[in-house]
């Protein structure tokens, strides 16, 4: 009993920030409306068989772990809120691991825990990014003892690799370093199994995703778009310091990012070549994917991965050295302070504005037109996955494509079978799409959404006169 009391007293700060984090995250989650990129995965695992899920994930360019986690819940008929809860809980567990395991002072812990990435973008926006923190923190906590637990460490790397394609460069260099370290010593069965798991993992991912961008029109569009290297350098830096109303001008934020990055790389180059190589490869791979494929399509969750790698490097360096570096702590802290500053804005925006009009529209339909089984829809097809996620019992007929839609396929080779026109008198349109004078508008979702340019999910319902 005394040990428990002593543990609670000694970790009063840790329990305080964990409790505060959970309260804020829960509050924000219940104010967040799903948009198309979140709902897309839920609709896919709900409406496809396993083979189709596998093939669709390949086309979308995502590893399968997030799909596998959601599949049983969606197949059993759970509400889409389940996905939001899973997303939050995964990051919450990661926060607990970090707070109790990471060799950070209380200031750095606070800035990391309440950074916009870990408080908002990864737990609240329910996408596969929510898987990254828990596995990257587990890998960091086991790094110094990885040779004693080679299979467990390899399994963590395998899971981390299967969270998002952007982790590939980071995980590949971790795996190569680990495999080389193991081969320097006498190999036993556990070490051979560990190396085999890593080799099988990367072989599988290579076979799954090699050249798959050519069948996804979105990545093909980004890949083939004109690229100016100067613009790319500026955009890549800008995404790390996202503030409402452009609080930081380009002339300040862009040099700041590169100065911080190169100072951090320089520190590791001088003090630990292995960690320098890890950070350099993670940065290099992310830059390659950004420039080669996404370019103008990068979001903050992608860039925050690099910040987690920076934290990983700080963690393993600090644990492996008796003497902590004030310079390294300061550099790492600045990265997370800049993310910490924007977190309150993210939460206030979620509270005061719609992220998407999908939930508002779904609530209106349930209240006023719940007996209707079908609705015609008109607009950008991808937008309607968010409505389908909230209204699984309603059929949505895409009038310009002439088929029913729940998720949107990025496979340009897919030719959906045309179906007879729906006889519904109700038409759902997105954003500025209109359908003529023969229809009365009976509903429009709140036009004050967080990002009109990117998401554009303002929905209207028309009834035929």
Expressed in angstroms, the distance from the first to the final Cα of the chain is 73
222 confidence band (pLDDT: 50, 70, 90): low
Kindly provide the residue ranges of all beta strands, DSSP E only, lying in 302-438, ordered along the sequence. 374-378, 395-398, 403-404, 426-430
**Out of 157-171, 302-316, 339-353, least confident range:** 339-353
Please give the angle made by the CA atoms of 295, 301 and 304, to the nearest 5 degrees.
Answer: 95
pLDDT of residue 413: 47
Under the phi-then-psi rule, with left for phi > 0, alpha for psi from -120 to 50, and beta for the rest, what region is 18? alpha
- Greatest Cα-to-Cα distance within the chain, rounded to the nearest angstrom: 80
pLDDT of residue 14: 92
pLDDT tens profile 395-447: 999 887 788 888 887 664 455 667 777 888 999 998 878 787 888 999 999 98
CB atoms within 10 A of CB 27: 12
**Out of 126-140, 173-187, 247-261, 321-335, least confident range:** 247-261
Query: Mean pLDDT throughout 12-17?
Result: 94
Query: Mean pLDDT throughout 303-320?
Result: 94
pLDDT of residue 464: 87
pLDDT tens profile 225-272: 667 788 778 878 877 766 543 566 777 878 888 999 999 999 999 999
Residue 102's SS3 state is coil
pLDDT of residue 204 exceeding 50: yes
More confident residue, 29 or 431: 29
pLDDT tens profile 121-146: 999 999 999 999 999 999 999 999 99
pLDDT > 70 in the chain, percent: 91
Query: Mean pLDDT throughout 171-192?
Result: 92
DSSP states of 381-416 as a string? Answer: GGGGHHHHHH-TTSEEEETTTTEE-SS---BTT--P
97 confidence band (pLDDT: 50, 70, 90): very high
What is the distance between the alpha carbons of residues 38 and 103, in angstroms, rounded to a whole number? 34
336 confidence band (pLDDT: 50, 70, 90): very high
pLDDT of residue 99: 97
pLDDT of residue 244: 41
- Domain ranges across the chain: 2-30+80-348, 358-464
Complete edge-to-edge strand list for the sheet that includes strand 459-464: 403-404, 395-398, 374-378, 426-430, 459-464, 439-444
pLDDT of residue 245: 39
Locus of tokens 């707070």 = 99
What is the distance between the alpha carbons of residues 49 and 34, in angstroms, rounded to a whole number? 23
Q: Structure tokens of 213?
A: 């961008």
Query: Mean pLDDT throughout 373-390?
Result: 91
The number of CA neighbours under 13 Å toward the Cβ of 235 is 16
pLDDT of residue 436: 77
User: Which DSSP helix (H) or strand (E) runs through 444?
Assistant: strand 439-444
pLDDT of residue 358 exceeding 50: yes
Q: Structure tokens of 95?
A: 């926060």
Residue 31's SS3 state is coil
pLDDT of residue 314 exceeding 60: yes
Q: Structure tokens of 173?
A: 């260099």
Chain mean pLDDT for the chain: 88
Cβ atoms of residues 276 and 268 within 8 Å: yes
User: Strand pairing of 403-404 and 395-398?
Assistant: antiparallel
Residue 249's SS3 state is coil
Cβ atoms of residues 36 and 457 within 8 Å: yes
pLDDT of residue 221 exceeding 70: no
> Does the CA dihedral 204-40-126-300 come out positive or negative?
positive
Long-range contacts from 277-282, C-beta under 8 angstroms, 24+ separation: 277/173, 277/177, 278/170, 278/173, 278/174, 278/177, 278/309, 278/312, 278/313, 279/309, 279/310, 279/313, 281/169, 281/170, 281/172, 281/173, 282/169, 282/170, 282/173, 282/306, 282/309
pLDDT of residue 368: 96
More confident residue, 220 or 345: 345
What is the distance between the alpha carbons of residues 424 and 191, in angstroms, rounded to a whole number? 62
What is the distance between the alpha carbons of residues 151 and 172, in angstroms, rounded to a whole number? 16
**Distance, CA of 443 to chain centre:** 32
Residue 461's SS3 state is strand
DSSP states of 117-182 as a string? Answer: IIIIITTTS-SGGGGHHHHHHHHHHHGGGTTTSHHHHHHHHHHHHTT-GGGHHHHHHHHHHHHHHH
pLDDT of residue 348 exceeding 60: yes
> Does the CA dihedral 323-174-162-240 come out positive or negative?
positive
pLDDT of residue 390 exceeding 60: yes
pLDDT of residue 341: 86
Q: Structure tokens of 107?
A: 């200031």
Cβ atoms of residues 34 and 125 within 8 Å: no
pLDDT of residue 455 exceeding 90: no
pLDDT tens profile 45-75: 999 999 999 988 888 888 999 999 999 999 9
User: Which DSSP helix (H) or strand (E) runs through 462?
Assistant: strand 459-464
Query: Mean pLDDT throughout 86-101?
Result: 98
Locus of tokens 């609670």 = 8
pLDDT of residue 451: 63
pLDDT of residue 443: 94
């Amino acid at each position: 009993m005394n040990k428990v009391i002593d543990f609670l007293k000694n970790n009063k700060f840790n329990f305080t920030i964990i409790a505060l984090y959970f309260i804020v995250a829960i509050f924000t989650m219940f104010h967040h409306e799903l948009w198309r990129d979140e709902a897309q995965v839920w609709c896919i695992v709900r409406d496809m068989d396993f083979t189709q899920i596998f093939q669709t994930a390949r086309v979308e360019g995502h590893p399968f772990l997030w799909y596998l986690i959601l599949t049983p819940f969606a197949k059993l008929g759970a509400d889409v809120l389940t996905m939001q809860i899973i997303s939050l809980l995964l990051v919450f567990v990661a926060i607990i691991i970090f707070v109790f395991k990471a060799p950070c002072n209380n200031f750095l812990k606070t800035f990391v825990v309440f950074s916009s990435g870990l408080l908002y973008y990864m737990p609240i926006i329910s996408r596969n990014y929510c898987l990254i923190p828990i596995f990257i923190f587990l890998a960091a906590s086991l790094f110094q003892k990885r040779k004693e637990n080679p299979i467990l460490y390899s399994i963590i790397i395998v899971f981390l690799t299967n969270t998002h394609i952007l982790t590939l460069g980071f995980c590949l260099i971790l795996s190569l370093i680990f495999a080389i370290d193991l081969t320097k010593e006498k190999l036993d069965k556990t070490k051979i199994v560990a190396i085999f798991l890593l080799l099988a993992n990367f072989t599988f991912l290579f076979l799954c995703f090699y050249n798959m961008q050519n069948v996804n029109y979105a990545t093909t569009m980004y890949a083939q778009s004109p690229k100016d290297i100067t613009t790319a350098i500026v955009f890549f830096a800008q995404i790390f310091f996202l503030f409402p109303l452009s609080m930081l001008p380009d002339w300040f934020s862009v040099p700041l990012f590169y100065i911080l990055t190169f100072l951090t790389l320089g520190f590791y180059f001088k003090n630990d070549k292995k960690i320098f190589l890890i950070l350099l490869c993670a940065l290099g791979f992310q830059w390659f994917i950004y420039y080669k494929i996404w370019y103008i399509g990068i979001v903050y969750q992608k860039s925050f991965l690099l910040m987690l790698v920076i934290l990983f490097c700080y963690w393993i360096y600090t644990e492996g050295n008796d003497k902590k570096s004030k310079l390294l702590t300061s550099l790492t802290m600045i990265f997370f302070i800049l993310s910490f500053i924007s977190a309150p804005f993210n939460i206030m925006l979620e509270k005061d504005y719609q992220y998407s009009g999908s939930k508002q529209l779904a609530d209106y339909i349930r209240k006023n037109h719940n007996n209707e089984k079908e609705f015609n829809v008109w607009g950008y097809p991808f937008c309607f996955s968010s409505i389908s996620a909230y209204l699984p019992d309603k059929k949505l007929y895409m009038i310009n494509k002439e088929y029913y839609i729940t998720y949107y396929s990025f496979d340009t080779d897919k030719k959906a079978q045309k179906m007879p026109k729906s006889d519904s008198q109700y038409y759902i349109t997105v954003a500025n799409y209109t359908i003529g004078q023969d229809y009365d508008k009976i509903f429009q979702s709140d036009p004050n959404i967080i990002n009109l340019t990117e998401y554009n999910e303002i929905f209207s319902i028309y009834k035929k006169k």
